[in-house]
Chains A and B, each alone.
Chain A
């Protein structure tokens, strides 16, 4: 079975600063994928970034980067230069190889202040 743990119910950051959202995972699958999604108040889950378990380099997508530490089973999301529009719930998720069915964490609410 797969499990995702997000230990930060809420995070606060000032505009233009960087913030790290924590995610640890547990799985017995040798091959898996790790995802981060953003959910604004409108409800839609917006895909941000993906890291494959065999990828050698950390994934980056614009202001988002994933700090993947396989031995520690962590996949933290780093948002650089925070913007007011980044205020939302952020979910870490994982899937097993061959399927896109996702196991989600409980999420972290990020609030960006001016």
Chain B
């Protein structure tokens, strides 16, 4: 099993559809993240979960709804998206020891196209 696995790898959805992105980490980490990577823009942090509680939400529209049922799984529920939401969505995880910075490990991403 690779460290961080995202499914599906590719997703095409209409603006009225509801879909979910799934992320699973096999590293025993205690924090998980959703990032959005749009063309010609830096990666943007969307959500952070630490110990299954959301600790950061960077003004993301409500059409994106995260869920973290346990420390190994993270979902991003999508509904009534807009074409500008088309992007690569990356999940990451890290182990957060107090007072230290550690590297985050990323999945391969879900390439989302909204039509």
Interface residues of A (CB under 8 A from B): 4, 32-33, 35, 37, 42-47, 50, 52, 91, 93, 95-107
B99's closest neighbor in chain A, by CB? A98
Interface residues of B (CB under 8 A from A): 31, 33, 35, 40-43, 45, 48, 56, 88, 90, 92, 94, 96, 98-109, 111
Across the interface, B42 reaches (CB within 8 A) one of A42, A45, A105, namely A105
Q: How far, in angstroms, from A50 to B96 measured CA to CA in the complex?
A: 15
Additional A-B contact list (8), CB under 8 Å, known A96-B101, A98-B100, A102-B35:
A44-B109, A46-B106, A50-B101, A98-B96, A99-B48, A99-B101, A103-B45, A106-B42
Q: How far, in angstroms, from A106 to B40 measured CA to CA in the complex?
A: 7
A35 in contact with B99 given A43-B88, A101-B56, A106-B41 (CB within 8 Å): no
B101 contacts A45, CB within 8 Å? no
A43 in contact with B109 given A91-B43, A99-B96, A102-B45 (CB within 8 Å): yes
Across the interface, B108 reaches (CB within 8 A) one of A35, A43, A47, A93, namely A43
Pairs of residues from A and B, 6 with the lowest C-beta to C-beta distance, nearest first: A33-B101, A45-B106, A100-B94, A43-B109, A44-B108, A104-B43
Q: 30 A-B Cβ contacts within 8 A?
A: A35-B103, A42-B108, A43-B108, A43-B109, A44-B108, A47-B104, A47-B105, A50-B101, A50-B103, A52-B101, A91-B43, A98-B96, A98-B101, A99-B48, A100-B33, A100-B92, A100-B94, A100-B101, A100-B103, A101-B33, A101-B45, A101-B48, A102-B35, A102-B43, A103-B42, A103-B45, A105-B42, A106-B40, A106-B41, A107-B42
Q: Which residues of A contact B33 (CB under 8 A)?
A: 100-101
B42 contacts A104, CB within 8 Å? yes
Q: Which residues of A contact B41 (CB under 8 A)?
A: 106
A100's closest neighbor in chain B, by CB? B94
Q: How far, in angstroms, from A96 to B56 measured CA to CA in the complex?
A: 14
Across the interface, A100 reaches (CB within 8 A) one of B42, B98, B102, namely B102
B94's closest neighbor in chain A, by CB? A100
A52 nearest CB across to chain B (Å): 7
